[in-house]
Amino acid sequence: MIINHPLLGPCDAQEFTYLGDASLLHRPDGMAEGAADAFVDYSYPRENPAGLHRELWFHEQGDRSWLVVTRDTVTHEITQVELASDVARREGRSR
Amino acid sequence: MRYSGFRILQQALTGHKGWTPAWRNPDPQPHYDYVIVGGGGHGLATAYYLARQFRQSRIAVLEKGWIGGGNVGRNTTIIRSNYLLDGNEPFYEFSLRLWEGLEQDFNYNAMVSQRGILNLFHSDAQRDAYIRRGNAMRLHGADAELLDRDQVRRAYPFLDFDNARFPIKGGLAQRRGGTVRHDAVAWGYARGADQRGVDIIQNCAVTGLRIENGRCTGVDTTRGVIGAGKVGVAVAGNSSRVMAMAGLRLPIESHVLQAFVSEGLKPVLPGVITFGAGHFYCSQSDKGGLVFGGDLDGYNSYAQRGNLPVIEDVAEGGMALFPGLGRVRLLRAWGGVMDMSMDGSPIIDRTPVEGLYLNGGWCYGGFKATPASGWCFAHLLATDQPHPTATAYRLDRFARGLMIDEKGVGAQPNLH
């Protein structure tokens, strides 16, 4: 697979390591009410769709950026690649 | 029809005209006591043991494709019970014991071959870990034997013992481990279940689960609505998709695992060997092909095929262990979709929906578990109690902190 890095252009997926579902960007607040349940929900269950999947890839052998890749899990086709920091900010995180 | 040597002789003398289909091809009834979703090894074994061991009737197995066309025909056929943890080892040992009597039990030649499995170690630390594992196995009644370098060399003289990075220092052998003809397992269970009145319905995909007042009352399928007293889901690889029909999110990611077969060779590899320093394992089929595999591709996938980097990685592992492989040509490569659970261990449990039961999360260890998985799932379906060897395989173990993580890598399914 080739991942079209937003800054570096096309890169071999072998340069990356895979973390998983992009929902992992939204780590719960450990100090909030019900944090234990929120962490169980954050850590274990997954949507695991057959089709479009937003997922986190780390450019370990490259610029060490985190990317959010939208990929079809049935065909392996990649349709969108964004910097995870851009996605996190857009979704309400401060950084 | 009961199969025997006498039957073969009789058929040989009468032109083989008397063989009948191994199972019927019935149309679905409107209602069953038990509907098993998934006609793979685990689903068929569940139906077989429900009928034979737990004396239940009115059972259907629904298969979206054909019998033997899913993961039961896409694995590398290895059986073993060399696990470390208390939650796992008694279950897998139970499974190995069922393998040992399976062919007589269901009257089908599954070519169970206890040719032994050998896990090689390459460092002192790894030797210590394998001694511990071997002791854990023996405490649970399994067999385990630590072989030193010379003993390994006598059995497998062609391995690269003096590899500069990963010299072979010995291995942990389980002589009762081995291989089984995987298609024959599906066919044998299908035939055995069918003979006991189970309806095996092929080309029947489940498209929805009927849930009324928190209770599962049946399934929608491509061949109409089928009512059910209890619905057991055994569709590893696609568990998340089927359970999503009941609104459940599982602690599972689906990943693709590749496997490979070489051209046929003369007998070279007497047992199953695994490389301890990379991820490579290999056995030789009775047709002569070397059957081998390695790591997951490592990203979520429902495609039954992988990519080239893993093929390269597996080939490198093979060459590091077994340099004589270099001139062997690859015949086939394929991929299967795995339910990778968050701790690397399976789930056999009730679900929050009454009447709906789950058997999944088998990671890439499902084949060896087939008999015990079927038995334990049948036990759960028939009695609503977990089988004593499967009490740890609960769906809520993640929330309760009771994970069974053999590899100790945490909630990272692509590393298990």
- Where do you find CATH 3.50.50.60 in chain B? 30-81+83-108+182-250+343-415
Q: What is the CATH number of domain B117-177+254-341?
A: 3.30.9.10
Q: Identify which of A14, A18, A48 has the shortest CB distance to residue B240.
A: A48
pLDDT above 90: residue A92: no
Distance of CA B264 to the CA centre of its chain: 24
- For residue A14, what pLDDT band results from cuts at 50, 70 and 90? very high
Q: Do A55 and B300 touch (CB under 8 A)?
A: yes
Tokens of B292: 């081998």
pLDDT above 70: residue A24: yes
pLDDT-flagged residues of chain B (< 70): none
- Gap from A94 CA to chain B (nearest CA, Å): 26
Contact by Cβ (8 Å): B309, A2: no
**What ipTM does the predicted assembly reach?**
0.96
Q: Do A20 and B342 touch (CB under 8 A)?
A: no
pLDDT of residue A95: 65
Q: Do B299 and A18 touch (CB under 8 A)?
A: yes
- Gap from B304 CA to chain A (nearest CA, Å): 8
CATH number for B30-81+83-108+182-250+343-415 (one of 3.40.50.800, 3.40.50.720, 3.50.50.60, 3.40.50.1000): it is 3.50.50.60
- Gap from B351 CA to chain A (nearest CA, Å): 14
Neighbours of A18 (CB within 10 A): 19
Residue type, B171: G
pLDDT of residue B54: 96
- Where do you find CATH 3.30.9.10 in chain B? 117-177+254-341
Contact by Cβ (8 Å): B231, B35: yes
What is the chain A residue with the closest CA to B343? A44
pLDDT of residue A65: 97
pLDDT of residue B357: 98
Q: How far apart (Å, rounded) are the C-alpha atoms in residues B74 and B315? A: 19
* Residues of A with Cβ-Cβ distance to B241 under 8 angstroms: 48, 50
- Gap from A7 CA to chain B (nearest CA, Å): 22
3-state secondary structure (DSSP) of residue A61: coil
Q: How far apart (Å, rounded) are the C-alpha atoms in residues B139 and B133? A: 10
pLDDT of residue A93: 81
Interface check B257 vs A, CB under 8 A:
no
Contact by Cβ (8 Å): B350, B390: no
Q: Do B303 and A73 touch (CB under 8 A)?
A: yes
Q: How far apart (Å, rounded) are the C-alpha atoms in residues B225 and B32? A: 11
Q: How far apart (Å, rounded) are the C-alpha atoms in residues B60 and B347? A: 22
Domains of chain A: 2-90 (3.30.2270.10)
What is the chain A residue with the closest CA to B250? A45
